[in-house]
Amino acid sequence: MNRNRRTLVSLVAVVSVALVVPSATAATKTTKKVTKTTKKVTKSTKQEVATATTNPVVVSTTIPKPAVITKVNIGCAPTLTGLPFDYAIKNGIDKANGVDMSCIAAQTGPQLTAALLSGDINVSGFNPANIFPVLDGGADLVGFQSVLNREFFDIIVRKDFPLPSSAEGWKGVMKDLAKAKMGVVARGAAAEFVARGLYKEAGLNPDGAIYIATGLATTTLAAMQKGEIDAAMVFEPGITVGLQEGIAVQPFSIQKDTGPATLNWASLFYVTSRDFAKKNPNAIKGIQATYLAAVKWMIDPANKADVEVAIREYLKVDPLTASALLARNVNQFTTTKGMAAERYDKVGDFFFAAGLTKKAWHVADYSFNP
């Protein structure tokens, strides 16, 4: 009995250091290495371990490598919401979850939609306002993971544009912008849909404004500086950069709940074809796990300095802007798996009521749960 107890204690001591004991021979080799390093394991202990491991026991603290790794092309654009996958790819989080992700660059929602429908990409993040019209047209696409729990777009106004009615709140601001030149990423796409929704909620005619396609953040802010547009419906980093550099002001914010309460909803989510999802359910699970792991890293206060460096490198912004971007957006990322119907169905109801879609699209109509 005493000898057996000594054997068990010695075995536990060695296994706690060596972690993996695949066979009697390997165990002896491993123990020798531990002995050389620690000077604490005796020759009799090696013999006891070798005897006790005729039927090997494997102990590991590492995540097993997936048996199958699925290649996935991800649509990417230079936005803050692209950072989780950028970080994940650079740090091997995707492969640890069974997917080998490659970033395929695109500039606008319509470009991403075309690439997804053609099969050039397998997955991309989309705003509901981009996807709902495509679903109206019969495309068999599915959403499977929420990215932002708030609206993706927000409004900024050129710093010298007169806003005499701003004291009346967001409706007063929209009244001042009733005939403004409104910058949007692309005509007939998500940014214009949200802008039109704002005008409609304020009781104004959405057709009174002039919508001008200005592209992404850099070209939008350049157009604003030149006076080519009076306001813009833009996403990060355009919002924060515009405010940081004094190009724009923000008299109200959709994302910060100082605009219409009806626009307090979730927005960006990951989309794929139903065919890809059905054929690759484990890859969909892997993408979800990859996103959630990266977001967990992003929102951890202990990682603040590292996240700011990652933002600077990914979006090519200065340190102050990177810090402001993180502070403004860190709490807007979704931290749970899947899509919450109560946050997305109201988007479908809103766009249908505004006459922008043929039906009120609800999560039950287009979601995929692997």
DSSP letter for each residue of 133-154: HHHHTT--EEEEEE-BSS-S-E
Identify whether 237 is preceded by a cis peptide bond (ω within 30 of 0): yes
Q: What is the arithmetic mean of pLDDT over 327-353?
A: 95
Q: What is the arithmetic mean of pLDDT over 54-66?
A: 44
The tokens of 62 are what?
A: 């590492």
- Predicted pLDDT at 44: 43
Model pLDDT for residues 263-302, shown as the tens digit of each residue: 999 999 999 999 999 999 999 999 999 999 999 999 999 9
Q: How far is CA 42 from the centre of its chain?
A: 53
Query: 63 vs 346, which has greater pLDDT?
Result: 346
Q: Which of 13-27, 154-168, 195-209, 305-319 is the least confident region?
A: 13-27
Query: 136 vs 355, which has greater pLDDT?
Result: 136
- Predicted pLDDT at 189: 86
Per-residue confidence band for 66, with pLDDT thresholds at 50, 70 and 90: low
On the question of pLDDT at 350 being above 60, the answer is: yes
On the question of pLDDT at 340 being above 50, the answer is: yes
- Predicted pLDDT at 67: 66
Model pLDDT for residues 214-224, shown as the tens digit of each residue: 998 999 999 99
- Using the 8-state DSSP alphabet, how is residue 229 labeled? -
Model pLDDT for residues 113-141, shown as the tens digit of each residue: 889 999 999 999 999 988 999 999 999 99
Per-residue confidence band for 47, with pLDDT thresholds at 50, 70 and 90: very low
Judging by DSSP bridges, how do beta strands 123-126 and 70-76 pair with one another? parallel
Q: What mean pLDDT value characterizes the chain?
A: 85
Q: Which of 1-15, 103-117, 134-148, 264-278 is the least confident region?
A: 1-15
Model pLDDT for residues 73-91, shown as the tens digit of each residue: 999 888 999 999 999 999 9
Say how far apart CA 359 and CA 338 lie, in whole Å: 23
Q: What is the arithmetic mean of pLDDT over 152-165?
A: 97
Q: How far apart are the first and last CA of the chain?
A: 52
- Predicted pLDDT at 254: 96
Q: What is the arithmetic mean of pLDDT over 34-43?
A: 42
Contacts 24+ apart (CB under 8 A), 134-141: 135/361, 135/365, 135/366, 136/357, 136/358, 136/359, 140/273, 140/274, 140/275, 141/116, 141/271, 141/272, 141/273, 141/274, 141/366
